[in-house]
Amino acid sequence: MKKRYILILVFGFIFTFTLSMKAAFKEEKNVSLMMTDVSRLMPVKIDKIVKGKEIESFKQAINEAKASNKKIAIAGKQHSQGGHTYYKDAIVLDMTSYNEILEFDKKKKTITVQSGATWDDIQRFVNPHGLAVKVMQSQNIFTIGGSMSVNVHGRDIRHGSLIESINSFRLLKADGEIVNVSRTENAELFPLVIGGYGLFGVILDAEISLTDDELYVMKSESLDYKKYADYFKQKVKGNKKVKMHLARLSTAPDTFLKEMYVTNYELAGEQGARTEYDELSEEKLVPLMKFAFGLSRNYDWGKNAFWNAQKSYFVSDEDTYITRNNVMRSASKFLEYEDDKNTDILQEYFIPVDMFPDYVDSLRETLTEEELNLFNITIRYVEKNEDAVLSYSRDDMFAFVLLINQGLSEEEIYKTRSVIQKMIDVTLAYNGTYYLPYQPYPTKKQMETAYPKVNEFFELKSKYDKEEIFMNYFYEEYGGDE
């Protein structure tokens, strides 16, 4: 009797445990089918994720999508913030495990990598050879394919946007064909895929042009924002020793869009001295930086304190030596942020250099009348380059990179969208453009004004992908019918 009771308990436990595990597995499976990007503003249910290491797995996914009338979306690190890397009920190709370095030519200064490799992977490989990347984002955590898809730019003032340093790539098209793409081979695809947001096919691998890993002296100084355009043209762009540059504009209430400081990276003489500083840096003080950014995100006094601390830390008479590779390994972990009620988003506006002071005044006037939690602005420079069909640098431009905290509710999304549309109107009034990897807040009219070739872009999308196999929310918002 006792044995039978024990057996009943045991079998009951096993049965209950099995059911609970099935439920947990089912719940985990459902959770895994929900996808969003780093902004967390557009979560949707997808069909499945294909995380392949072989080209054949991507081909099979495309064939499956065709057979089942589904869509393909392509994802890297998913830091594009407007649904560019996924789509409802789509098969999502996660490229991050497709990340091998395929070829390296030290003499020609080129490297060929699979599209899921990151800039960090490349830096770790080429740094011992005294080489470095020409163009990438300020952080090195992103995939090569993702960076090509948004045609990134960074701190380098001599090499412009990424399209300039891509020699060639292989593309898996919607019909299953793999083609080589360069400025001379399948040339029409070259300016469509780079800055094409994954709408023309799967970038498989790319040959990238490298440069020397130089040693720089980093110098920072405070500057009157009204003098910045002339300062930049004469002391930065006009000084061949300055290779990289950035500026920061105050978002603190006490000095809002009035104070700024600049940082120049100037060639430091003999190249041999590089070996004293060539160890790749790793992120430090992440908890402290997260805390400081949190104060700036949540309190006006925190914004004031953080801005004053930044100036005190960076603006000094001391020379700091740093290699090119380490300039391009900026901290990123302290920017990671999750909260149940709000999130951080990016905006980026490009303004012709000579328009800088007037634009800042107009932007300040607009934002003073609005409620927007803007807590960081970085200024970069992008040289004119219209190679990409969706080029954002129709002139020599200053790029305003804005970090904004907004709520997750529909009401907060509406409020933020309204303010951003006003900022874009100001930007367009100064012959500026805006960057496309972010929330679909701009109107179609604003998109067409900022990007005159957008209709050509979407027409060629139809030419190369008639069935619209490759899909994302950027295309649905701006490429579809009214």
If asked whether residues 409 and 326 sit together in one domain, one would say: yes
Is 44 within a domain?
no
The whole-number pLDDT of residue 480 equals: 66
At 64, is the secondary structure helix, strand, or coil? helix
Residue 201 contacts residue 174 (beta carbons within 8 Å): yes
Is 76 within a domain?
no
If asked whether residues 156 and 113 sit together in one domain, one would say: yes
The whole-number pLDDT of residue 164 equals: 96
Q: Phi-psi bin for 198: left (phi > 0), alpha (psi -120 to 50), beta?
A: left
Taking only the tens of pLDDT, the chain with its 482 residues reads 434 433 333 334 333 334 343 433 333 334 458 998 888 888 999 999 999 889 999 999 999 999 999 999 999 988 888 899 999 999 999 999 999 999 999 999 999 999 999 999 999 999 999 999 999 988 888 999 999 999 999 999 999 999 999 999 999 999 999 999 999 999 999 999 999 999 999 999 999 999 999 999 999 999 999 999 999 999 999 999 999 999 999 999 999 999 999 999 999 976 557 888 889 988 777 777 788 878 889 999 999 999 999 898 889 878 889 999 999 987 666 667 788 899 999 999 999 999 999 999 999 999 999 999 999 999 999 999 999 999 999 999 999 999 999 999 999 999 999 999 999 999 999 999 999 999 999 999 999 999 999 999 999 999 999 999 999 999 999 996 55
At 220, is the secondary structure helix, strand, or coil? strand
If asked whether residues 134 and 190 sit together in one domain, one would say: yes
Q: Which domain holds residue 198?
A: 98-212+468-478
Burial label for 450, CB within 10 Å (0-12, 13-18, 19+), is buried
At 163, which CATH number?
3.30.465.10
Is 121 within a domain?
yes
Q: What's the predicted TM-score (pTM) here?
A: 0.90
Is 253 within a domain?
yes
If asked whether residues 227 and 357 sit together in one domain, one would say: yes
**Distance, CA of 141 to CA of 158 (rounded, Å):** 22
**E strand intervals along 257-331:** 259-267, 320-323
Is 55 within a domain?
no
If asked whether residues 169 and 224 sit together in one domain, one would say: no
If asked whether residues 183 and 253 sit together in one domain, one would say: no
Residue 72 contacts residue 471 (beta carbons within 8 Å): yes
If asked whether residues 315 and 442 sit together in one domain, one would say: yes
If asked whether residues 121 and 263 sit together in one domain, one would say: no
The whole-number pLDDT of residue 11 equals: 39
Is 61 within a domain?
no
At 235, which CATH number?
3.30.70.2520
**Distance, CA of 427 to CA of 12 (rounded, Å):** 67
Residue 153 contacts residue 179 (beta carbons within 8 Å): no
If asked whether residues 420 and 340 sit together in one domain, one would say: yes
Is 90 within a domain?
no
The whole-number pLDDT of residue 276 equals: 82
Which tokens in the block code for residue 389? 């069909």
If asked whether residues 196 and 234 sit together in one domain, one would say: no
CB burial string 22-56: b at 16+ within 10 A, e below: eeeeeeeeeeeeebebbbbbbeeebbebbebeebe
Domain count, the chain: 3
C-alpha distances (whole Å) from 398 to each of 157, 247, 259 are 11, 10, 17
The whole-number pLDDT of residue 411 equals: 96
Backbone angles phi, psi at 218, to 5 degrees: -95, 120
If asked whether residues 228 and 207 sit together in one domain, one would say: no
Is 84 within a domain?
no
If asked whether residues 183 and 222 sit together in one domain, one would say: no
